[in-house]
């Protein structure tokens, strides 16, 4: 069955689910370190806060690598780009597990992040194009669902296995699974080449839209708020809430369930009520993080608030991602990469500030305060975007004669944002 037929029948094309499997692996590798941080720090002979740089470095690699790799691979087959990204991803993990040097591991994380950025940039474009304009946000939600499912399954299992096999065990598994994912990409991703009319100039022109940058700013701030707290969640749970270290993976499952639910909610509601959905979710995220400061001294309230911050925070993600790609008009690849960079800018800045707050007088509640402020600031670009009005048709900044036949689809895409 063709993608178009699937879309008419209300189903998403299978390729979207294949891409979700890829994001599952990449989400696992990005966040599994949070559950293994003490073990990694001890094995590599560094402090916990310094080991946290492995999360920051990965985020920085995606910030730089996403747009760079998107432009570098612009004229390559999308299928080839995804397969190469998975190959480099696997190689980065092999280097990581074979090294005992923190510097080498840090560098390998950056290289792995470059591959991840390339995969996400191309993957978002394929997912939204295959799903069609009426289900673009839903397709993004499913693809990002792979990321959130990583928090439900991949990260807790990785943390659990790492406690028994050593932290290198989960990374070996990720290297092998990346190879299998490359096979799936070769089998199910369409082999069509990139259109010849795509150019770097057209992609750059797409960045002139002010509303695009508002959506990207919201992505930075909401992810920075949630991940500032999540990066250092293990010491908060064990030392403040009194949860045993062996039970931390179970709490990570709770976080992942919240993230998965939030992504599903955002994917379902975002095509119809994008601004009401994001504004409400951002406000609830800020409140949950703020309450985590006084209420994290009890295990029940701590776990409940961890779930709530994930549920609300991840509701925003598929909506702002879909809006950003839509605002880019005919040149979505670079914008898709910048969306990924925006999330990881938030992760890098949030985790770095949280690390500083952890060693301040705020102690274990410092990361939660950093997260609450960042989530609250998310309301600013979202409010401006709501007042600007996303119903107004996005200006097409990179139109080509060969694409004029698709104008009706573009208009339909704008109508779905109402």
pLDDT band at 202 (very low <50, low <70, confident <90, very high): low
Ranked by mean pLDDT, the top range of 147-151, 240-244, 246-250, 399-403 is: 240-244
**Tens digits of residue pLDDT in 36-72:** 888 888 888 888 778 878 887 887 787 787 788 777 7
275 pLDDT more than 70: yes
Q: pLDDT tier at 303 (50, 70, 90 boundaries)?
A: very high
387-415 mean pLDDT:
45
Average pLDDT over residues 186-200: 61
Q: What is the pLDDT of residue 334?
A: 74
154 vs 310 pLDDT, higher one = 310
**pLDDT value, residue 329:** 66
pLDDT value at 412 more than 50: no
CA gap 16, 33 in Å, rounded: 27
Percentage of the chain modeled with pLDDT above 90: 18
| More confident position, 389 or 274 | 274
Three-state SS string across the chain, please?
CCHHHHHHCCCCCHHHHHHHHHHHHHHHHHHHHHHHHHHHHHHHCCCHHHHCHHHHHHHHHHHHHHHHHHHHCCCCCHHHHHHHHHHHHHHHHHHHHHCCCHHHHHHHHHHHHHHHHHHHHHHHHHHHHHHCHHHHHHHHHHHHHHHHHHHHHHHHHHHHHHHHHCCHHHHHHHHHHHHHHHHHHHHHCCCCCCCCCCCHHHHHHHHHCHHHHHHHHHHHHHHHHHHHHHHCHHHHHHHHCCCCHHHHHHHHHHHHHHHHHHHHHHHHHCCCCHHHHHHHHHHHHHHHHHHHHHHCCCHHHHHHHHHHHHHHHHHHHHHHHHHHHHHCCCCHHHHHHHHHHHHHHHHHHHHHHHHHHHCCCCHHHHHHHHHHHHHHHCHHHHHHHHHHCCCCCCCCCCCCHHHHHHHHHHHHHHHCCC
Q: Encoding tokens for residue 371?
A: 């997260």
Q: Report which listed range, 126-140, 309-323, 399-413, is most confident.
A: 309-323
User: What total number of domains does the chain contain?
Assistant: 1
Its domain, for residue 313, covers 3-415
Contact call for residues 377 and 221 (beta carbons, < 8 A): yes
What value does the mean pLDDT take over residues 393-413? 41
pLDDT reported for residue 418: 40
CATH number at residue 277: 1.20.1250.20
pLDDT, tens digit (0-9, with 9 covering 90-100), for 127-167: 777 777 767 777 777 887 787 777 678 877 888 888 788 88
pLDDT band at 393 (very low <50, low <70, confident <90, very high): very low
């Amino acid at each position: 069955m063709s993608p178009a037929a699937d879309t008419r029948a209300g189903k998403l094309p299978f390729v979207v689910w294949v891409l979700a499997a890829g994001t599952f692996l990449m989400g696992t590798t990005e966040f599994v370190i949070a559950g293994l941080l003490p073990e990694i720090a001890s094995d590599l002979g560094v402090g916990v806060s310094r080991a946290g740089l492995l999360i920051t470095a990965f985020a920085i690699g995606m910030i730089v690598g996403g747009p760079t790799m998107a432009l570098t691979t612009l004229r390559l087959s999308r299928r080839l780009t995804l397969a190469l990204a998975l190959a480099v991803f696997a190689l980065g993990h092999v280097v990581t597990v074979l090294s005992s040097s923190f510097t080498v591991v840090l560098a390998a994380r950056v290289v792995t992040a470059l591959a991840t950025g390339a995969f996400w940039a191309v993957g978002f474009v394929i997912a939204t194009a295959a799903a069609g304009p009426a289900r673009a946000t839903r397709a993004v939600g499913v693809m990002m669902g792979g990321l959130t499912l990583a928090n439900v399954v991949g990260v807790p299992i990785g943390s659990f296995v790492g406690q028994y096999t050593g932290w290198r065990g989960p990374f070996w598994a990720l290297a092998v699974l990346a190879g299998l994912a490359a096979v799936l990409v070769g089998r199910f991703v369409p082999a069509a080449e990139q259109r010849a009319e795509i150019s770097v100039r057209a992609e750059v022109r797409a960045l002139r839209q002010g509303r695009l940058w508002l959506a990207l700013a919201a992505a930075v701030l909401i992810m920075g708020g949630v991940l500032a707290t999540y990066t250092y969640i293990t010491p908060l749970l064990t030392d403040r809430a009194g949860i045993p270290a062996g039970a931390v993976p179970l709490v990570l499952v709770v976080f992942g369930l919240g993230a998965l639910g939030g992504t599903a909610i955002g994917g379902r509601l975002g095509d119809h009520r994008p601004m009401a959905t994001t504004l409400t979710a951002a406000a609830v995220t800020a409140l949950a993080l703020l309450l985590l400061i006084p209420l994290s001294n009890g295990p029940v309230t701590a776990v409940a608030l961890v779930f709530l911050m994930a549920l609300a925070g991840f509701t925003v993600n598929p909506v702002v991602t879909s809006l950003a790609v839509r605002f880019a008009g005919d040149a979505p690849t670079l914008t898709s990469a910048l969306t990924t960079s925006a999330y990881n800018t938030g992760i890098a800045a949030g985790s770095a500030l949280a690390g500083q707050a952890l060693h301040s007088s705020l102690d274990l509640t410092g990361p939660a305060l950093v997260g609450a402020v960042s989530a609250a600031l998310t309301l600013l670009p979202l409010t401006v975007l709501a007042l600007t009005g996303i119903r107004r048709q996005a200006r097409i900044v990179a139109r080509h004669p060969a694409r004029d036949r698709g104008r009706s689809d573009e208009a339909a895409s704008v109508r779905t944002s109402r």
